[in-house]
Amino acid sequence: MPHMPTLGSAYEAIAKQGIDQQFVLPPNLDLRVVSGFIEGLPNQIDAMLVRGEGQRYALTDQYIYPARQVLCVLEVKKTLNKAALRDGLAHLAEISRHFLKDFDTRYESDEDLDFSHARSSFEQLTGRLGPRNTQEADSLPIRDRILYGLLARQIHAPVAVLLGFDGYATEQGLRTAVLDIIESKAGNNSDATPELLPSLVTAGAFSVIKCTGQPYVIAGPNDGFIILASARHNIARILLELLWTKISVACNARMPFGPDLDFESLKELLAAKGASRDGHLGFELATYEHSEKKLQRSEVKVWEPTRLSAAAVYIAELVSFRFGSLKLDASLADDIRNEHQVELDAAVQELVDTQTYCRSQTELRAIGSGAAIASLEDGTGYADRYRDRLQIWCDQKGLDVTFMSHVLVD
C-alpha cells in the first residue's frame, strides 16, 4: 500500500476494533472506542477509549471529548523506530500534561476523588501505612509524599499507549532506545519523566510497561520502586490487564480477571525514588541494563505464596479477629516472644514482605479490602490478599489447611 496515510488508517482501525470487542469492553457501562480530539488539545488522537457521549466534529467520524471522560489513549505506529518512538512519547506527554492540569483543577475544587487504589499501591511498595486523608498525605516524609502523589495522579490519568505493530528486533533494542530518550531529555521540560511516560510502549512482540499500580506494582532496591519494566511476550494480555484495571477503577465495575496463578514475566528497566534537591522535588532514577541473552525467559512466572512461620500466622489471624487492624504494643511483643521465641518485628516483617500487610510503628493493617490466611497443622501457613488464588494454589498442592479471612466492605 504505497499511500501511507491510508496504510496508517488501516493500522489504527485494527487497534480500535481489537479493543472495541464484546469480550474486552463490558456492556452497560457506556464505553466506546473513537478517534478524534481531547477538548483543549489541537492534535488528533488515533484511538480513545471513552465513556459517555462526546461532541461529533462536523460530519466526520471524529469526536471531541473532555479529559475526564477519556480512559485510554492510543498512538498507533506501523513501525516503531527511534524517530517514531521519540515523536510518540512527545505526543503522549502533551496529553498527560493536559490531564494533570485537569486533575489539579478537580483536586483544588474539592471534588470527591477516590485515592484508595493509590493507597493500596503505596502500601504494597513501601510496607508502610498509606494516608487516609489529605492531611495525612501532606505530613508524609518528602520521599513518600512524592511517591504517593505520583500514584494518586496516575490512578485518575488515562492509560496512555504507544502501539507499534512492528519495530525493534530485540527486547534489548527497545529497552536501550527508551533509556536513551529518557537520558537525552533529562531536565525541567522533559517529555520522559516518570509522570509523563506512557503506560505501555510496544514494538512487535516487545513492550515497556509503566508500573504505577494499574495493575503492575514492583518494589525496588533502597526503598525505591520499579517505574519501568519490559516484557517479550503476549502484548494483548498486557494491554487487556491495563484496560480492565482502568475500567474497574474508573467505572467501579467488577471485571472477569482470573485467579492470577501466573503473571507476566517482567524485567526491571528503570528504578525511581522520590528525592528533594535545592528545593526541587522529583525522582532519582537508576537503570538496569541486561544483554539480550539474559533477557531470554519464559512467558509467565508461576505464582506461589511465601511460607510463614507460626508466629507470623498467629499475628495474621489476630489481624483478622480485629477486623483488619492490630495494635503492635509491648504486651503483644511479650506474647510472641514467650509463645514462639521470636521478636515481634521479625514476625511482622514476614507479613509485610507478602505485600498483604503494611505497618506503622504501632499498628499492623491488611492492605486493601481484606486478607486470607491458610494455616497448616504445625501452625505455619500462608497469607494473601486474594482468597480464591490462595485456595486454588493450596488445592493444587494437596495441602490440608484451615482458612481464615476477613473482607472490608464499603
Instruction: With beta carbons less than 8 A apart as the criterion, state whether 255 and 288 touch.
Output: no
**Any idea what the CATH number is for the domain that residue 341 is in?**
1.10.10
Domain boundary among 269, 301, 333: 301
- Shared domain check, 118 and 34: yes
List, as one string, the DSSP characters of 282-323: EEEEEE----HHHH---SEEE--PPPBPHHHHHHHHHHHHTT
Q: Which single residue is written with the C-alpha cell 493493617? A: 365
Task: Give me the pLDDT at residue 189, please.
Answer: 77
- Helices within 310-371 (DSSP H only): 310-321, 330-340, 344-353
- Shared domain check, 119 and 40: yes
Helix, strand, coil % in the chain, rounded to nearest 5? 40, 25, 35
Task: Give me the pLDDT at residue 216, please.
Answer: 95
Rounded to whole angstroms, how far apart are CA atoms 137 and 119? 10
- Shared domain check, 327 and 292: no
Task: Give me the pLDDT at residue 277, please.
Answer: 85
- AA identity, residue 184: S
Q: Residue 250: how many CB atoms within 10 A of its CB?
A: 22
List, as one string, the DSSP characters of 190-258: -S-STTTS-SEEEETTEEEEE-SSSS---B-STT-EEEEEEE-S-HHHHHHHHHHHHHHHHTT------
Domain boundary among 281, 301, 321: 301
Q: What's the number of domains the chain is made of?
A: 2
Taking the CA of residue 212 as centre, how many other CA atoms within 13 Å lie in the half-sphere pointing to its CB? 28
- Shared domain check, 110 and 23: yes
Phi-psi region of 280 (alpha: psi -120 to 50; beta: other; left: phi over 0): beta
Residues 6+ away with beta carbon under 8 Å from 407? 369, 370
- Shared domain check, 263 and 124: yes
Task: Give me the pLDDT at residue 20, please.
Answer: 66
- Shared domain check, 172 and 26: yes
Residues of the chain with pLDDT under 50: 1
Task: Report the predicted TM-score, pTM, of the whole model to 2 decimal places.
Answer: 0.92
Residue 329: give the domain boundaries. 310-407
Q: What is the pLDDT of residues 22-57, one digit of tens each?
A: 667 888 899 999 999 999 999 999 999 999 999 998
Task: Give me the pLDDT at residue 60, please.
Answer: 86
- Shared domain check, 174 and 30: yes
- Shared domain check, 284 and 339: no
Domain boundary among 270, 301, 332: 301
- Shared domain check, 371 and 348: yes
- Shared domain check, 317 and 242: no
Query: Which of helix, strand or coil describes residue 140?
Result: coil
- Shared domain check, 242 and 385: no
- Shared domain check, 289 and 314: no
